[in-house]
Chains A and B, each alone.
Chain A
Amino acid sequence: EAGVAQSPRYKIIEKRQSVAFWCNPISGHATLYWYQQILGQGPKLLIQFQNNGVVDDSQLPKDRFSAERLKGVDSTLKIQPAKLEDSAVYLCASSQRHTGELFFGEGSRLTVL
């Protein structure tokens, strides 16, 4: 069974530029999560989808971050414009249901200069 796929693995941009990350969850998993992990900290939930609907985006900085999950399968997380403090690893995870076991992708490491 294929795991959670993410791309790109690494991205370096200048501040005020935009960037997009893509995630394809495990087949059949209804719940998809985007987490932000800053160096030395635990992952912080940015947004959670159940199928193609948002169930929690309370910690998403909506003035610059956006995410969508069209057709309830893969998802895109966008940052525009990026700030220095957005430098982090962006982790995508999926689970069969919203209280289920989480499986993570390898992450997308963003460096904002």
Chain B
Amino acid sequence: GIQVEQSPPDLILQEGANSTLRCNFSDSVNNLQWFHQNPWGQLINLFYIPSGTKQNGRLSATTVATERYSLLYISSSQTTDSGVYFCAGQNSNSGYALNFGKGTSLLVTP
């Protein structure tokens, strides 16, 4: 299955700052998703984005499938953005598993 690498592993921001999280994958994907795991452990789907660009409020994501990476942008960060951000990828030709990266742990300070 797809191998997923995320960077950076940890990030500390002051409230109001912007950030970019990166996800590289080992093969082409036909399914790429970003999730936020809040401090209570709940995983929330942020984007389903196998290609192209999407925006949802202060968050946006871009996947460049031909170059095997995806970026998650967080603008004007808030303390509620803290948590762990995961990306997960799948290539149906190499199995059904949607494989997760190790995540980026984000702490936004007041």
**Interface of A toward B, CB cutoff 8 Å:** 33, 35, 41-45, 48, 50, 55-56, 58-59, 89, 91, 93, 98-104, 106-107, 109
Q: Does B26 contact A (CB under 8 A)?
A: no
**Closest residue of B by beta carbon distance from A107:** B41
Collect the chain B residues with CB atoms within 8 Å of residue A33's CB: 98
Query: Is A58 a contact of B42 with CB atoms below 8 Å?
Result: no
Query: Is B45 a contact of A106 with CB atoms below 8 Å?
Result: no
Collect the chain A residues with CB atoms within 8 Å of residue B95's CB: 56, 58
User: Out of B41, B99, B102, which one reaches A106, CB within 8 Å?
Assistant: B41
Tell me the bound Cα distance from A35 to B48 in angstroms. Answer: 19
Known: A42-B103, A102-B33, A104-B45. 9 other contacts (CB 8 A): A42-B100, A43-B88, A45-B97, A56-B95, A89-B41, A99-B30, A101-B45, A102-B35, A104-B42
B25 to chain A, nearest CB (A): 13
A46 to chain B, nearest CB (A): 10
**What 0/1 pattern do residues 60 to 80 of B give for CB contact below 8 A with A?**
000000000000000000000
Q: Does B31 contact A (CB under 8 A)?
A: yes
**What 0/1 pattern do residues 73 to 110 of B give for CB contact below 8 A with A?**
00000000000001010101001111111110000000
**Closest residue of B by beta carbon distance from A31:** B96
Query: Is A91 a contact of B96 with CB atoms below 8 Å?
Result: no
Query: Is B30 a contact of A102 with CB atoms below 8 Å?
Result: no
**Closest residue of A by beta carbon distance from B6:** A42
User: Out of A41, A91, A98, A99, which one reaches B43, CB within 8 Å?
Assistant: A91
Query: Is A42 a contact of B102 with CB atoms below 8 Å?
Result: yes
Query: Is A99 a contact of B90 with CB atoms below 8 Å?
Result: yes
